[in-house]
Amino acid sequence: MMMICGNKFWGGLGFLILFLTISIISPVSLGSLKVGYYKYSCPSAEAIIRKQVDKALARNPGLGAGIIRMHFHDCFVRGCDASVLLDSTPGRRSEKEHPANNPSLRGFEVIDAAKAELESACPRKVSCADILAFAARDSAYKLGAGINYAVPSGRLDGRVSIEDEVTQNLPPPFFNAPQLVQNFARKGLSTDEMVTLSGAHSIGISHCSSFSNRIYNFNSTHPVDPSMDPNFARQLRRRCPSIINARNDPTVPLDFLSPNKLDNKYYSLLNIKRGLLTSDQTLATSPSTASMVKSNAKNGALWVNKFANAMIKMGSIDVLTGNNGEIRKNCRIVN
């Protein structure tokens, strides 16, 4: 899932795919957000953002996972208001300083580059929150198997970012399925949407500290978590030391099959006990989610469609509009 993962604390068949692709990119509207919001005020906005994303991912595909995760971490704390992009100020540490975000979130420089070009082309027209939503979509498109969708926009930027609020809102890697269901429900997302968005863990990396408890001294009876394939555990122990500290906390791919491709192989791995985090593997063992994992593993085209729709819905969480926010000139500081 697109949660805390990079540190301690996603003939007939051809017609079906074509139909799903069309349904994904059809114009939609979510509340005060709408597709084509910048059609007149900054018609080149989406093209500028996609150019910066494409350029960055051509150099380093791993940035795509960081940008998608950044969008998730932003939306789950104070809503999709770009609060995760704000730097700390004297006396107040921002969200990006939390161990869940630093150093696991990557791609801030991509957002900065897009914002700088937009400010030159259309001064004070495009919010940082919208830039992040577009960049997440563009990253999914670049790395995904046919993932594309129209992004409703019109979000404004928030003015507050507080480190401690991250823990209160983001699910940690040790959550079980019922806890994940409850966490996502608080944000207005269904169980199926939670399982669907978890597929973002088919890209990106995790620090060993996020799952070391599963491969070393799990409990008095089992040295390894019994929900993990023993061969996979041995493979991980070759990469991860038994004693981890800030100077010795290696990273491994969340998905060993296709680490730089956003696809449904993540669910296939869960079905053979090769989910990396507790919060991954629990989806295949919990009665409330196991059938969804099997369905997503079996039907990649269906998962693509559901993932696009879930990203759109997630991107509408507690958005700021009207007089409730601003359009930052610099995404790292308030105006």
Catalytic annotation, residues: 73
- Round to whole Å and give the CA distance between 97 and 242: 26
- Round to whole Å and give the CA distance between 288 and 177: 8
Amino acid in the structure at residue 157? D
Residue 129 per-residue DSSP state: H
Give the strand pairing for 29-30 and 33-34: antiparallel
Residues ≥6 apart with Cβ < 8 Å to 209: 7, 8, 244, 249
Count CB atoms within 10 A of the CB of residue 63.
Answer: 23
User: Is the Cβ–Cβ distance between 17 and 146 less than 8 Å?
Assistant: yes
Q: What is the dihedral of CA 5, 50, 158, 100, to 10 degrees?
A: 10
SS3 320: strand
User: Is the Cβ–Cβ distance between 198 and 292 less than 8 Å?
Assistant: no
User: Is the Cβ–Cβ distance between 107 and 45 less than 8 Å?
Assistant: no
- Round to whole Å and give the CA distance between 39 and 46: 10
- Round to whole Å and give the CA distance between 107 and 69: 10
Reduced to 3 DSSP states, what percent helix, strand and coil does the chain have, rounded to the nearest 5?
Answer: 50, 5, 45
